[in-house]
Structure formats: C-alpha cells, structure tokens
Amino acid sequence: MAIREIIILPDKQLRLVSRPVEKVTPEIRKLADDMFETMYDAPGIGLAAIQVAQPLRMITMDLAKRDENGETQPRPRVFINPEVISSSEETSVYEEGCLSIPEYYEEVERPARVRVRFTDLDGKLHEEDAEGLFATCIQHEIDHLNGVLFVDYLSKLKRDRVLRKFTKAARRTAE
C-alpha cells in the first residue's frame, strides 16, 4: 500500500469524466488499497479514483461508527462503476467538504435517499439503498467520477470566490 498524492482544485483532471473499470484485476485491488491508505491519511471518509489522478469509476468509502467504548470500527467499502439508479424527491442538506478542496466546507442540498448500483472487489453486482451521510457521500463521490465538484452546487458568487482562492494558491505554489 502507498499514499498517493491527492490532486487539488484547480487541477483540470478533477473535471474529467472517469472511464468504467472493465474488470477487477490485481492493479484495481492495489489502487483500492492505496486509495484507502490515502483517504485515511488525509483524513477523509470518501475518495474517488480521479482524486489520485486515476480516471477510473471507483470509490473508496469508510463511514466508520464509534462503538460503546468510543472505539472507531472501520467499515471500508469499495464501489466500482457506481451509479445512482433512483433518488427521492425529498432533499436533505449536509455540510460537505472535499479532500481536493482542502479546508473549505459549505452546505449542499441533495436527494435525501438514493438507490445505487455498483460492483464490489469480488466482481459481484449490488443494488443498495442509501440515506443520511451515506447518501450524501456516495452522491458526492459519484459526482467526482462525472467531473462534478460539490462547489458546483453553490451560488455563482461563492463558487467563483472558491475557484479564485484555489487558483491563486496554486499559482503561489508553482512560483
């Protein structure tokens, strides 16, 4: 396993539409392992492959729960070629952040419930209902696979301000 570099806004790769994973190979399994290590190190709860410069339709996620002793129980999950196949008309609002837009958080309104179809690392196809944080996170990460960022849901004023801030920071780093 290896920690990979997370690409940061305004990197144009974040706007790429990721291609489907054709089959689960040892390379895909290694990518998943690296993504988990990268995500935990960041730290984050979800990571799309494109965020580590791999334009593949794959997501890692861990919405760990704390047990009665306050210990975190990891729940790592991999979603290959995930897609939302239905969503509720009811919406919910969560404060979202993104490892590719560090230290920036805003409230985003999304469908409260979604049904997702995906393949796991064993090559098995699943359909699952998601709500709450799971629904928000899976929609956020699937957006990444389609070149969409959570800031795209903000007002033009807020979005432009964030893009300017990160573009300016990238220029300073490059100098």
Q: Give dist(CA 92, CA 28) in Å, integer.
A: 33
Asked if 7 and 144 count as a contact pair (C-beta separation under 8 A), the reply is no
Region of 12 please: left (phi>0), alpha (psi -120 to 50) or beta. Answer: alpha
Query: Can you point out the beta strands (E) in 63-138?
Result: 65-66, 72-73, 76-87, 91-98, 101-111, 113-119, 125-131
Q: Annotated catalytic residue: which of 68, 106, 141, 175?
A: 141
Active site residue 141: yes
Asked if 137 and 125 count as a contact pair (C-beta separation under 8 A), the reply is no
Q: Give dist(CA 21, CA 129) in Å, integer.
A: 22
Q: Give dist(CA 75, CA 77) in Å, integer.
A: 6
> Which residue from 43, 61, 52 is spatially nearest to 13, judged by alpha carbons?
52
Catalytic amino acids?
141
